[in-house]
A = this chain, B = another copy of it.
Amino acid sequence: MGDVMGDVVGAAMDAMRRPAAGRVAVIGAGVIGLTCAWRLAGAGHRVLLLDDGGPAASQVAGGMLAPVSEASFGEEGLARLTLAALRCFPALVADLAGSGHGPVEQRSHGTLTVGLDPDDRLALDRLTAFRNGLGLATEQLSGRTLRRAEPFLSTSASSGVLAVDDLSVDNRQLLTALREAVAAAGVEVVRGRACSFDRDGTRLHGVVLDDGRRIACHTAVLAAGAWSAQVTGLPAHAQPHVVPVKGHILRLRPRGARPSTAYLTRTVRALVHGREVYLVPRADGEVVVGATTEHEGFDLDVRAGAVRGLLDDATAVLPVLDELTLTETATGLRPGTPDNGPLLGWAAPGVLLATGHYRNGLLLSELTAQEVVGRVAGGAASALWSPFDPNRFARSTHPALQEASS
């Protein structure tokens, strides 16, 4: 299949590299779609944004912008990408503010990773070594220092590692600001669900919606997250390798007389008997607790056991959570890929994929949009993004696919 694909892609290369004329349609109104639409409009394109009103993963997320975690071992390419993303993310918030959109709360107190038992602490040590290998700034905190930094943490958290450069963002404020910005920039927002691409071997004619409407465009950016594989009309080998990975998340708020009590200053990530949990604080005292990882198709039900696990683990880290109001239990569907890396590149002439961001959609939003603007303008893949060409899985020798099928 790899050779056939190579021929097809090769034949269409010139068409792909031409700067797209006319209208660009962005499919998907989560953080990736919105940021791409805004940055494309800013680059002078006439942009249409297709919003199916579905549940964007970025709306449910916690807003932790932390490039490297336990899950990152063996993913050095992804680590480099997310580190670059962390450096350029603040420009998005700053540009939104500069255009009068916001406020968007962005915190820069770093991410504190703690372990609660000896095994967890061993895993922490491995994480620190890995971070150091990437040249990342970390600070070891133990005992008194940790207690001073986060006095409400459980006494079981006897040591921690602070990733000083990590950020967090209020994802819901960011999405609201982006929606405002997109409208103000003249992007035409259309409510509808993309069903298929109307295309021939050399170019794209438009996008067909499930109600039969047809959006004429010469370029489409497919940023539909977990739903990206549902748009038909791409060659079989170019269908995005994206599956929904369900996550549960909780939102809690201080109660009563002290509504803005801050029980946490920085994002805390913990291993609790091997299970990862994170807590992201907001200035108004809200704490977001996430997140499970489940493969259950497009199911969005809130599973009792997931809520129980998150509450148990989060309370083991920050016992005072028991006293907060549980304001929301929610689920989201992350777009997972075989190697946990995003998919950015041409799937067919006129069809650019910007999807598969898995856990890193918010973090990668600005970097993705910059790359999308470059690619739509006819540029080649940048060095950072070249490992994330969507065609990497077409070769059946890709290690992630071999692993998945073994």
Q: Give the interface of A toward B (CB within 8 A).
A: 250, 252, 255-256, 299, 301-305, 307-308, 311-312, 315, 321-327, 329
| Bound Cα distance A255, B252 (Å) | 26
Q: Could you tell me the dominant secondary structure of chain A's interface residues?
A: mixed
Residue among A256, A303, A312, A323 with most chain B CB within 10 A: A303
Supply 17 further A-B pairs (C-beta < 8 A) apart from A304-B326, A312-B312: A252-B304, A255-B299, A256-B299, A256-B301, A301-B325, A303-B323, A303-B324, A303-B325, A304-B324, A304-B325, A305-B321, A305-B322, A308-B311, A308-B322, A311-B311, A326-B329, A329-B329
Tell which of B299, B301, B304, B326 touches A303, judged by Cβ atoms closer than 8 Å.
B326
Task: Assess whether B323 is in contact with A304, with CB atoms less than 8 Å apart.
Answer: yes
20 contacts between A and B (CB under 8 A): A250-B304, A255-B301, A255-B303, A256-B299, A256-B301, A301-B325, A302-B327, A303-B323, A304-B321, A304-B322, A304-B323, A304-B326, A305-B315, A305-B322, A305-B323, A308-B312, A308-B322, A311-B311, A312-B312, A326-B329
Q: Which residue of B lies closest to A307 (CB)?
A: B326
| Bound Cα distance A326, B299 (Å) | 13
| Bound Cα distance A301, B251 (Å) | 13
| Bound Cα distance A256, B312 (Å) | 25
Tell which of B255, B302, B321, B323 touches A325, judged by Cβ atoms closer than 8 Å.
B302
A302 to chain B: which residues have CB within 8 Å?
A: 325-327
Tell which of B256, B301, B305, B315 touches A308, judged by Cβ atoms closer than 8 Å.
B315
| Bound Cα distance A255, B300 (Å) | 11
A307 to chain B: which residues have CB within 8 Å?
A: 307, 311, 326
A304 to chain B: which residues have CB within 8 Å?
A: 250, 252, 311, 315, 321-326
The 9 closest A-B pairs by CB, nearest first: A305-B322, A308-B311, A301-B325, A304-B326, A302-B326, A304-B324, A252-B304, A304-B321, A307-B326
A321 to chain B: which residues have CB within 8 Å?
A: 304-305
Q: Which residue of B lies closest to A323 (CB)?
A: B305
Give min CB distance, A314 to chain B, whole Å: 8
A311 to chain B: which residues have CB within 8 Å?
A: 304, 307-308, 311
Give min CB distance, A99 to chain B, whole Å: 37
A322 to chain B: which residues have CB within 8 Å?
A: 303-305, 308
A303 to chain B: which residues have CB within 8 Å?
A: 255, 322-326
| Bound Cα distance A305, B312 (Å) | 9
| Bound Cα distance A315, B312 (Å) | 13
Q: Which residue of B lies closest to A304 (CB)?
A: B326
| Bound Cα distance A112, B299 (Å) | 34
Q: Which residue of B lies closest to A324 (CB)?
A: B304
Give min CB distance, A188 to chain B, whole Å: 38
| Bound Cα distance A61, B235 (Å) | 55
Give min CB distance, A280 to chain B, whole Å: 15
| Bound Cα distance A303, B315 (Å) | 13
Q: Which residue of B lies closest to A302 (CB)?
A: B326
Residue among A302, A304, A324, A327 with most chain B CB within 10 A: A304
| Bound Cα distance A256, B301 (Å) | 9
A312 to chain B: which residues have CB within 8 Å?
A: 308, 312
A256 to chain B: which residues have CB within 8 Å?
A: 299, 301
| Bound Cα distance A273, B312 (Å) | 17
Q: Which residue of B lies closest to A311 (CB)?
A: B308
Give min CB distance, A295 to chain B, whole Å: 14
| Bound Cα distance A104, B323 (Å) | 37
| Bound Cα distance A311, B329 (Å) | 14
| Bound Cα distance A311, B315 (Å) | 14
